[in-house]
Chains A and B, each alone.
Chain A
Amino acid sequence: MSTALRRGVGWRPSPLARSLVVTGAVLVGVVAVALSVGAAATLGPADVSLVNVRDVLLNHLGSAQIPVTVTDDAIVWQERLPRALVAAASGAGLGLCGVVLQALLRNPLADPFVLGVSSGASTGAVLIGVLGVGGGALGLSSGAFVGALLAFGLVLLLARYTSNGSQGIVLAGVAGTHLFSAVTSFVVFAFADADATRGVMFWLLGSLEGMRWPQVWLAVGTVTVGAVVTLVAARSLDAFAFGDDVAASLGVHVQRTRVLLLVATALLTAVLVSIAGAIGFVGLVLPHAARLLVGERHRRVVPVTILLGALFMTWVDTVSRVAFQPTALPVGVGTALVGVPAFVALLVHRRSRS
């Protein structure tokens, strides 16, 4: 879609008409996500019809008394639904982090992992899973969360002592990412047996196995908070288009906004990574796709990215789960397999447009 087409040359919708269109599109997106999550719950080794899924939902949410088999109820309510919801939340959250970081760091290649959060998380997970740090008091997830925050802290510290501005943060993030990846590999190489390696590898690739309701609440809650913060800051994100100086001259507290949003994205990424591992490419690609659809305004890009991310992850995870029955492909492998060609196509399109 070219800029001219998107804008409709010579035709300017009134602001009211435009915001109605955007609101409508967002509503359609929300319905599509809900339907996708429902559809995902019907797919899998055991067939459950969409009607049964609806009945299970009505029983649990509306305290209806529709008879469904215990197996159906367990499969839908305990397995597939939580998994699909965590998938949707992860996709939404990672996309959200990507939008914020690409705008804030003025770097189209920024993704949620540019701050070193994911490799810190894997180091934390490996230290727990392989070396048994914490003596079993900490799970893989909490280890990952702590690792992610420590890595982010180190990256901020590095950025502070090396150079100013967004460039410094990207450089420090790259340094941190490589350092923690090396530590992870070292621990696996030196100490892990085959079983531990397998367990950790699965997690490193990103996996939504064994998601239950507690993870759903954590993921959905964190993503919601992140979305609200980002929508409030949407105008400030627009102001960063021409760099820090212009943003400052437009009345944005550059330093304060940057720190607030960096911390928010780091926390959100840390939560998601500790739940589902490092799921790559969603955060990098989806913001670009959203911008192609609705332009550069963050008031529009943010909600559209959230919805695209939720849709994308729900379906990639469902396909990864169903296509390789009885085992599931780690969802991170699926997102990269779909994401890389999509990214290349976006880059080609972008070039042909300019």
Chain B
Amino acid sequence: MTVTAREVVWSRGGRIVVDGVSLHPEPGTTVGLLGPNGSGKSSLIRLLQGAARPDAGQVELDGAPVTGRSRRDVARRIATVTQHAETDAALTVRDVVELGRIPHRTVLGGDRARDATAVDAALRQVGLADRADASWHRLSGGERQRAQIARALAQEPTELLMDEPTNHLDVRHQLDLLRLVADLPVTTVVALHDLNLAAAHCDAVVVLAAGRAVAAGTPEDVLTEELVAEVYGVRAIRVRRPDTGRLALLFDTL
């Protein structure tokens, strides 16, 4: 019941951006996709989403190739949240979340009661139920990102893909968002820049460098000082938080 990637290769404009990556998330877990800029995180997410076809290898959903399914069919299983979604349209929060019901609609309409239930549930899950009638343009950055997550949840997916969802958020909203994502019952693959966020909230991480997966496993096992130096080119020191005892990383230039 998950989306998996088997040895996927993808080149764009003559450059290989994803080079033989495999990904097998455990159902219901949160998997962090790490790596410096240009390491292929976003491209891998596009492949997992079925928005692009790999040149080699395969993305599978329940063991069958995702490219063989209809786009609408895939959208009922896999939802995606991008790093920064903007619109000029005068939408309310509920309007935005209702977009998530599009894959469930047919030409004739669809099940309106179920649509309403799914939208209400999604709004509650992200804590925006009382903001449902607010204008999208009056939301803060954190609220907008939560509204996008609610939109994705309204799709009733089993898989949630997120491409750097914390990019434009302040530290508190970053923490809130990751806490929310980690607690969701869906399988989540989330591309992240912040290694400490990944260490705190991901069940597993995969580290990409130049399109290749160079390490995978629990954050505890993967995020070693050597690996961070090799992949990011910075000097990291592993410490324990005095209060929780959890892994934290301190950085300096090499």
The secondary structure that dominates the A interface is helix
How big is the B interface, by class? 35 or more
B102–A252 CB distance below 8 A: yes
Q: Is B171 on the interface with A (CB-CB < 8 A)?
A: no
Q: Is the interface of B mostly helix, strand, loop or mixed?
A: mixed
Q: Is the CB of B87 within 8 A of A249?
A: no
Which 5 residue pairs of A and B lie closest in terms of their CB atoms, listed nearest first?
Answer: A251-B75, A251-B72, A249-B80, A251-B103, A242-B85
Q: How far is the CA of A147 from the CA of B51 in the complex (A)?
A: 36
Q: Does A251 contact B90, Cβ atoms closer than 8 Å? A: no
The interface-forming segment of B33-41, B91-99, B180-188, B223-231 is: B91-99
**Among A88-96, A121-129, A176-184, A231-239, the stretch in contact with B:** A231-239
Nearest residue (CB) in B for A239 is B102
Shortest Cβ distance from A11 into B: residue: B133
Docked pose: A253 CA to B103 CA in angstroms: 11
Contact string against B for A residues 214-252, beta-carbon threshold 8 Å, 1 for contact and 0 otherwise: 000000000000000000100110110111011011111
Q: Are A106 and B76 in contact (CB under 8 A)?
A: no
Q: Is the CB of B92 within 8 A of A7?
A: yes
Contact of A251 among B102, B116, B152 (CB under 8 A): B102
B102 with A246: CB separation less than 8 A: no
Chain A interface size range: 20 to 34
Quick one: closest A residue to B103, CB to CB?
A: A251
Task: Please name all residues of chain A whose beta carbon is closer than 8 Å to the beta carbon of B152 when the two chains form the complex.
Answer: 249
With an 8 A cutoff between CB atoms, is A55 at the interface? Answer: no
Q: Determine whether A137 belongs to the interface, using a CB cutoff of 8 Å to chain B.
A: no
Report A1-31 CB contacts with B as 1/0, cut-off 8 Å. Answer: 0011001010000010000000000000000
Contact string, B211-254, partner A, CB cutoff 8 A, digits 1/0?
Answer: 00000000000000000000000000000000000000000000
Q: Are A245 and B86 in contact (CB under 8 A)?
A: no
Whether, in the assembled complex, A108 has its beta carbon less than 8 Å from a beta carbon of chain B, the answer is: yes
B137 contacts A by Cβ under 8 Å: yes
Instruction: Chain A residues near B148: list those with CB within 8 A.
Output: 242
Interface status of B88 (Cβ within 8 A of chain A): yes
CA distance A238 to B70 in the complex (A): 19
